[in-house]
Structure 1
Amino acid sequence: MTDDYRVLNKAKWDERAPAHAASPDYAVTRFVSDPEFLSEVVRFDQPLLGDIRGLRGVHLQCHIGTDTISLARLGARMTGLDFSSAALTQARTLTEKTRTPVDFVESDVYDAVSALGAAQFDLVFTGIGALCWIPSIDHWAQTVAGLLRPGGRLFLREGHPMLAVSSDLQAVASGRAIDETRTDRPTVGYPYFEIPEPMVFSDGTTYVETDTEFTQLVTHEWNHGLGEVVTALLDHGMTITGLVEHRSVPWEALPGQMTREANGEWRLTEHPERLPLSYTLQARRQLAGGE
């Protein structure tokens, strides 16, 4: 596989990072004005995340750092890692304005162990909307295990792979018109399981409120089945400690079919029990002797 996906995807995120930082949806001004403010994503995660005070953590694919800073405000000693230099410029600016002690490192996620060192972290945090940008979930799991100290913990919340197979969702992502006659229910039209070749989309929009017109449109993306994620972690010496499927997701993934809740999450308006929209998976790196 070539590295074309990295070049294309990095160009997209480099262009969108300043627009995201300026958008009210990322609430950058609130972070600056309120030292106790947390991102909606981390607030949702808190009940399962628990007490992370004193832990050394790394946030993989951290983007502009709002979730990373939120984790630091909960007491973890955080490092953020991302391949987008433009995103990290915004993240570093925000840490300076908020006086938050977070380090940010520019690196592809697969190179994280080389960039940060092996077995250095108590916590690996991967936020929602990250795994679709990587082609191999096995390689990702190897990276997670390599970063963690024995007994260290992975916390992953991600869009559910069943949501990603919805043809309505992918129509939005690729700029195609949604079938207006099928707004009553999502339909399955894209791979559930990881495949070698990427899904290629051309999209001039983004998921936050902005007036910016983008020129970097093409992205390469992959889906990873839930069983594939679990198996990859087990294969690399991780023990699964929790798996919860959620009926909500932090963006309007299926326009015309969703309602926004008070916590900022979106759920299906009708019969939300039909489709899991996100999941939280937790795992620990095994101690010496496989304990």
Structure 2
Amino acid sequence: MSDYRRVNRANWDDRAPLHAGSGDYAVESFRNDPSFLSQVVRFDVPRLGDIRGLRGVHLQCHIGTDTLSLARLGATMTGLDFSSVSLAEAHKIAETSSTPIDFVEAEVYDAVSVLGSAKFDLVYTGIGALCWLPDIHRWAETVAGLLRPGGLLFIREGHPVLWSIDENRTDALTIGYPYFETPDPTEFSDENTYVATDSVVEHTTTQEWNHGLGEIVEALLQADLNLTQLIEHDSVPWEALPGRMECGEDGEWRLLEHRERLPLSYTLQARKR
């Protein structure tokens, strides 16, 4: 295993129980309400359309709340993640919610060899996933390998412009990190995670990459996927820029001022040719 995978997996192993125990992931709501959906999936229900009967895989599924939400919308879901601790939490949540989901421990780039080629009608990737991958073209090829002809890729992600903003500058929106993919990762150290919790992580270091929106689209086109939707949003489902955002009734966070200046997330759909 290369160093970035070891470093990042240690961090996500620490995060998993904190996330499962935080109200931000609403695990008890999943257990108590059979119709409950995660905020991330609920936001995109109008764009997802009818997924009943589709065989889907959620790449980088973490503790599986988005995976479970897609299953509740009628898809037969598989969740894939590199963190065994995350998958242990995902298993517990799915079982106590009486929803059958297959969870598989593997790296994203190994997904085709582990799960099989052209087996899925839907590949789903959610918020905060692509930044952990060093090569967006290899990711797009993996997606294409998983999909059947005509199969759908569905992404909602943090916008690469947002990922390039220095969140520590509170006086202005300042580009502080790469927008385009770089050979070497940007390294961060933070004992906190993005949910409300009284605990901190032991393994504080992460290694991350940004990928420009054009790089993502071009990688998909080169992997024989046709872009069918690209919508940029002025909101994200967490407080990405602390102190400069407010949460709306829809559970989405938006800038307090000048919302027109910064795209915060995007929804993208593409079909395999």
2:126 partner amino acid: G
Q: Percent identity?
A: 66
Q: Using structure 1 for the length normalisation, give the TM-score.
A: 0.92
Residue number among 239, 262, 282 corresponding to 2:226 in the alignment: 239
* CA contact 2:193–2:200 (8 Å) conserved in 1: no
1:251 is matched with 238
Q: Cα distance, 1:19 vs. partner?
A: 0.8
1:277 correspondence with 2:246: no
1:71 correspondence with 2:70: yes
1:34 is matched with 33
Q: For 1:16, what is the secondary structure of its paired residue? A: helix
Which runs of no fewer than 5 residues in structure 1 stay unpaired?
A: 169-177, 287-291
Question: What is the rounded CA distance, in whole Å, between the counterparts of 1:150 and 1:213 in structure 2?
Answer: 44
Report Cα offsets for 1:52-73 as digits up to 9, x if no partner. Answer: 0000000000000000000000
Report Cα offsets for 1:177-212 as digits up to 9, x if no partner. Answer: x345x1xx3111211100100000001000001111
1:145 partner amino acid: A
2:182 is matched with 195
Question: What is the rounded CA distance, in whole Å, between the counterparts of 1:179 and 1:73 in structure 2?
Answer: 40
2:16 is matched with 17
1:202 partner amino acid: S
Question: What is the rounded CA distance, in whole Å, between the counterparts of 1:167 and 1:67 in structure 2?
Answer: 28
Q: For 2:232, what is the secondary structure of its paired residue? A: strand
Which runs of no fewer than 5 residues in structure 2 stay unpaired?
A: none
Q: For 1:195, what is the secondary structure of its paired residue? A: coil
Q: Using structure 2 for the length normalisation, give the TM-score.
A: 0.98
Q: Cα distance, 1:95 vs. partner?
A: 1.1
Q: Cα distance, 1:128 vs. partner?
A: 0.7
2:212 is matched with 225
1:209 partner amino acid: A
* CA contact 2:58–2:125 (8 Å) conserved in 1: yes
1:208 partner amino acid: V
Q: Cα distance, 1:116 vs. partner?
A: 0.4
Q: For 2:99, what is the secondary structure of its paired residue? A: coil
**Structural mapping, 1:1-291, within 5 Å:** 3-168=2-167, 178-179=168-169, 182=171, 185-286=172-273
Deviates more, 1:136-145 or 1:93-102: 93-102
Question: What is the rounded CA distance, in whole Å, between the counterparts of 1:212 and 1:163 in structure 2?
Answer: 26
2:225 partner amino acid: M
Pairwise CA RMSD: 0.9
Count of residue pairs brought into register by the alignment = 273
2:103 partner amino acid: F
Deviates more, 1:210-219 or 1:139-148: 210-219
Report Cα offsets for 1:198-245 as digits up to 9, x if no partner. Answer: 000001000001111221000000000000000000001100000000
Q: Cα distance, 1:91 vs. partner?
A: 0.4
Q: Cα distance, 1:105 vs. partner?
A: 0.3
Question: What is the rounded CA distance, in whole Å, between the counterparts of 1:179 and 1:94 in structure 2?
Answer: 37
Q: Which runs of 4+ in 1 moved over 2 A?
A: none
1:153 partner amino acid: L
Question: What is the rounded CA distance, in whole Å, between the counterparts of 2:153 and 2:110 in structure 1?
Answer: 17
Q: Cα distance, 1:167 vs. partner?
A: 1.3
Q: For 2:138, what is the secondary structure of its paired residue? A: helix
Report Cα offsets for 1:143-182 as digits up to 9, x if no partner. Answer: 00000000000001110000011112xxxxxxxxx345x1
